[in-house]
Amino acid sequence: MDATIAMLSPWQVFQDNMRPAQLLLNVFNLLNSDDKILSEGEMVAALRDLIKASDEEDLMVIYNPIFLGLVREGARLPRADLRRNALCGLLRQAVVASCTALETYLPALLGANLSVVIKARGRDSVPKDDPDIAMQFKELKFSLDEGLRIMTMPNPEEFISTKILGAVNFSYLSGSRGVAVVGKLLGIANPWQSIAQRLEGDANALQKMVKDTVGRRNDIVHRADRRQSDPGGKQQIINPSWAKQAVDTIANVCKALDELVSSAVAEARGDTSEDTATNEQDTT
């Protein structure tokens, strides 16, 4: 297989990693019956007859507006595992998966485009006195030898890009700041304002949602969804509507960022066909 064909775009990488989050939300919706799990009645009797189950076999029927499911005794699945409190674990894992998708997408997007932007914009590719950039790369240093090597390289942008990407591997691109850093390095002066404009939303609200989602992921992964301020307290309640909003916000923000970067990189290359480039990346 041709290596170019086999290589996935950053957006395709994001979609592949985001798919489990959407699947978990969908499975929750299928199995959620508001704890009304049937084990007797006309519907259970009809299904018992349909599958030729004996009168002694315990059956559980999950029934809601979009799903009808029958769990047989041989599944050895406790009724408690199908109640809403237990199913909320699916929502929590959807939040975790969406943050994983974000945190794999940002460095992939940067790696695919940074050298192009550096070559086109030179010193202007790094915003001056920007707090997000300064915080993200406060440990990044070039040695004297590296500085001298850059002076003699035919394509110094490749070396600089690799150095920055190496720093990213240790400094962890995540959350609203990660989105801002990647956007700024790839030629978007004010990423969150540009993303909000594209989504016809409020920049502060979008940033807060992403920040809250990443914070909630940390609570889920490190404290079984207990607050950092009260790790020994009660598990936080998670609502399906909030989980869906969190997952959808990350998906929408990343899609908007992908479109903005595609346009910025096309402009840096002097290519006016950025709309076509953007459409080619969209495999939804």
**For 106-114, what is the mean pLDDT?**
89
**For 218-230, what is the mean pLDDT?**
94
Strand partners, 183: none
- The helix/strand/coil state of 62 is strand
Higher model confidence: residue 244 or residue 5? Answer: 244
- What tens digit of pLDDT does each residue of 10-34 get? 999 999 999 999 999 999 999 998 8
Give me the chain's average pLDDT, please: 84
Of 48-52, 71-75, 132-136, 236-240, the least confident:
132-136
CB atoms within 10 A of CB 33: 21
Q: Which residues contact 28 (CB under 8 A, 6 or more apart)?
A: 87, 88, 90, 91, 94, 240, 243
Higher model confidence: residue 277 or residue 163? Answer: 163
Q: Which residues contact 162 (CB under 8 A, 6 or more apart)?
A: none
Query: CA nearest 176: which of 253, 119, 66?
Result: 253
